[in-house]
Structure 1
Amino acid sequence: MPEPVDRLSAPHYVWGEVSDGWRLVDRPGLSVVEERVPAGAGEEWHVHAEARQFFYVLEGEAVLRTADGDVALAPGRGVEISPGLPHQFFNRGPGDVRFLVISAPSTRADRAAGTPSPPRGAESLPRGAEPMRTD
């Protein structure tokens, strides 16, 4: 019989010194992670060669940036990121953002940092934010 999972029972990790993640599903073919990112924090530009990801915001406000521009995300909104599409997630809101990241296959060992440059005229992160990364 399948066992239910929540943040209390899921393995927890800290990334970027200030952000939290809970591995709700952690299989080679599928990863479901709930994450919490405080105001002004986010991750570095990166790309996944094989994983397709879906970011879905539960609470707060976030921006998912691609080379094509920014996608504003509020509670109940999500965006799909295709394999090979460089992206950066950050919290531009006044409080924490909680969201789900669903990846197929898992992003473990499928991440390259430092790509690409942000869209012309855009900053890589909001002023004062420090670059951070997830695994």
Structure 2
Amino acid sequence: MKISKQNAEHYIWGNVCDGWHLVKSAEFSVIHERMPAHTSEVRHYHQHARQFFFVLSGTATLEVGGIKSIIHQHEGVEVPPLTPHQMLNQSNDEIEFLVISQPSSKNDRVVVD
């Protein structure tokens, strides 16, 4: 079965950001996310999940282990388990990106102050 934002399970996070589950299993997860301008995720890490963030549109900022990187359209960054990270949209435009996790990051997140 084909999957897209139009038919995927949708959720809202951070009150204004969107996520669509393109693949949702305990072993593997692919989420298409949208962040409006000037929004951010809370800083956190995953105990088991390795993640890959891939920007589909716009310019994202990903802080990994205290270092901020600008990620342009069609670029990505891998984040190993136990590594604090935070996705930010510091631009004036919305961004869309994929978050690929193995295993799934569900119930695996630890918020960092």
TM range, smaller chain = over 0.9
Q: CA deviation at 1:108?
A: 0.4
- Structure with higher Rg: it is 1
- Runs (4 or more) in structure 1 with deviation over 3 Å come to none
Q: Which residue in 2 is equivalent to 1:86?
A: 84
Q: Which residue in 2 is equivalent to 1:71?
A: 69
Gaps of 5+ in 1: 116-135
Q: Which residue in 1 is equivalent to 2:37?
A: 39
SS of residue in 1 equivalent to 2:39 = coil
Q: Which amino acid in 1 is paired with 2:100?
A: I
Which TM-score applies when normalising by structure 2? 0.97
Q: Which residue in 2 is equivalent to 1:60?
A: 58
RMSD between aligned residues = 0.8
* Aligned-partner Cα distance in 2 for 1:28–1:103: 10
Question: Within 5 Å, which residues of 2 pair with 1:1-135?
Answer: 3-115=1-113
Q: CA deviation at 1:66?
A: 1.9
* Aligned-partner Cα distance in 1 for 2:85–2:15: 20
* Aligned-partner Cα distance in 2 for 1:33–1:7: 10
How many residue pairs match? The answer is 113
Q: Which residue in 2 is equivalent to 1:133?
A: none
Residues 55-86 of structure 1 deviation map (CA, whole Å, 9 limit, x = unaligned): 00000111110234111111010000000000
Q: Which amino acid in 2 is paired with 1:102?
A: I
* Aligned-partner Cα distance in 2 for 1:114–1:44: 8
* Aligned-partner Cα distance in 2 for 1:40–1:10: 25
Which TM-score applies when normalising by structure 1? 0.82
